Structure formats: structure tokens, C-alpha cells
Structure 1
Amino acid sequence: MSDPALLPGWAGEPIWDGFRALVSVDAGKVALRSRRGTGMGPAFPEIVAGAAQLPDATALDGVM
């Protein structure tokens, strides 16, 4: 089924099994945010703890 919001020749894939998030480490502080900027750290403390081991000035974008 085609999506009228997509341009001809483009394809899209919905994400039904996870959350899109950005994790960043700045001056030892970890921020986990949704693509709209909502803080997600309290809901995913294990990701925040793991990201604390990343080097400073790191930014990652992905699906979790």
C-alpha cells in the first residue's frame, strides 16, 4: 500500500517494536531523549548506566 505522504520513488518503514532515541554524553552527563526531546532516562536506567561508559562528546541515534 502506498503512503500519500511519501514522494514517488521513496519508501518508508514504521517502527513497531521499539523506540527511536538519542543518547549523548557531555562532560560525563548522560542524556537519553526521544526524537521530540522528551527525557527517557528514568524509563531506561540500564541504557543510561551503559552509556556512562562511553567517551565524552559521544552522540548515538538509534532504535532500542
Structure 2
Amino acid sequence: MTWTPPEPMLSTPVPKPDLLPGWAGEQKWDGFRALVSVDAGRAVLRSRRGTEMSPACPEVVAGAVQLPDATALDGVM
């Protein structure tokens, strides 16, 4: 069975950064948005549009292969 990673969550600009009680926000820093997925001991690094980024960041892939199968990480690097 092939595991399909989830779609990345995209940020949404707002006019005022006021948050409701119980809500949390996260600063959007400049960098590359990436999704790492691990399946059957193989780690793949993709952009939010699905472009393969593994060759450009071998150190990230080398660290990600140590994660358990069916792991997905979405973030900025």
C-alpha cells in the first residue's frame, strides 16, 4: 500500500493579527515551504507544489529517514 502525504496547510493573510481566546498563531518566516514524507524507510522532500527537493537538501532527507514510516512533516526550512 502506498501512503499519500496530506496537502500542505497554506497561510492566509489577515488585516489584523488578533486571535480569538484559545487560538494560536505562527509567524511566517522567509524560506522554503517543504513537506517531508517517510514511507517504507524512504524519505521524500517536496515543495508545496509537489516538486522534488530531495537532491537539493540531502541533509534533511538523511535525517528524515530516521523517522517512523507514515510520517509527514510540513514546515519552512
- Which one of the candidate residues 14, 25, 33 is aligned to 1:11? 14
Matching residue's letter, 2:71: T
Structure 2 length-normalised TM? 0.63
Taking the TM superposition and a 5 Å limit, the aligned residue runs for 1:1-64 are: 11=14, 17-64=30-77
Q: Is the 8 A contact 2:38 2:69 kept in 1?
A: yes
Superposition TM-score, scaled by structure 1 size: 0.75
Equivalent position amino acid for 2:14 in 1: A
Which whole-Å deviations, capped at 9, do the CAs of 1:4-39 have from their partners, x for residues lacking one?
A: xx7xxx518xx5631000000001111100001000
The percent identity for this pair of structures is: 76
Judge conservation of contact 2:45–2:54 (CA < 8 Å) in 1.
yes
Gaps of at least 5 residues in structure 1 are: 1-5
Cα RMSD over matched residues? 2.0
Write the letter of the residue equivalent to 1:33: R
Q: Structure 1 stretches (4+) deviating beyond 2 angstroms?
A: none
Q: Partner amino acid for 1:37?
A: G
